[in-house]
Amino acid sequence: MTPGDPVQTHPTTPAPWTPPRGSDVEIIKVGLYWDVLRAPAELGERALELLGDASGAVIADYGLMYWLIPSGHAQNWRPLQTGIHALGAHGAEVTYVGVPPVDWRGGPRLHWRVPVGPDRYLTDPGRLREALVQSIAAESVEGAAAR
């Protein structure tokens, strides 16, 4: 999949990658199969609610959430706010992400917040961005109301 290709959040063919089986975390080079969008969990949970079934797989780990997005899309991601980062294989930068085994579904340690499945793989970066923008706006309103 290249940056101009349409994103399939519900692929009709099996994903080219699957999470590890067994009991060990696998360290995966970002960009080969997918890029990653990392966000703080409080914003991520709101975004997940807004995305609903449109969310692809999400990894969670001690206050952070990692969405799998199509490979090549991180380099086009425009910053939203501190703490939200697009991680991909662009230029000389090499990034790795720890991926939990397929059956790790509870935290707070590394686990699947939304597991990879036949109908859940990649998240459309445009829809994810929109959900995060709305989450940031809601957080700002709540913060102003609390003052």
DSSP assignment, residue 120?
A: B
Strand pairing category for 34-40 and 85-87 = antiparallel
pLDDT for the residue 134: 94
Residues 127 and 54 sit within 8 Å (Cβ to Cβ): yes
- pTM comes to 0.83
10 pLDDT above the threshold of 50: no
Distance CA 24, CA 20 (A): 8
64 pLDDT above the threshold of 90: yes
125-146 average pLDDT score: 82
101 pLDDT above the threshold of 60: yes
42 pLDDT above the threshold of 80: yes
Distance CA 116, CA 22 (A): 15
Token couple for 54: 């449109």
89 pLDDT above the threshold of 80: no
75 or 97, higher pLDDT: 97
Token couple for 124: 């459309």
Distance CA 87, CA 32 (A): 12
Task: Work out the pLDDT band at 143, boundaries 50, 70, 90.
Answer: low
pLDDT for the residue 12: 41
Task: Work out the pLDDT band at 119, boundaries 50, 70, 90.
Answer: confident
59 pLDDT above the threshold of 60: yes
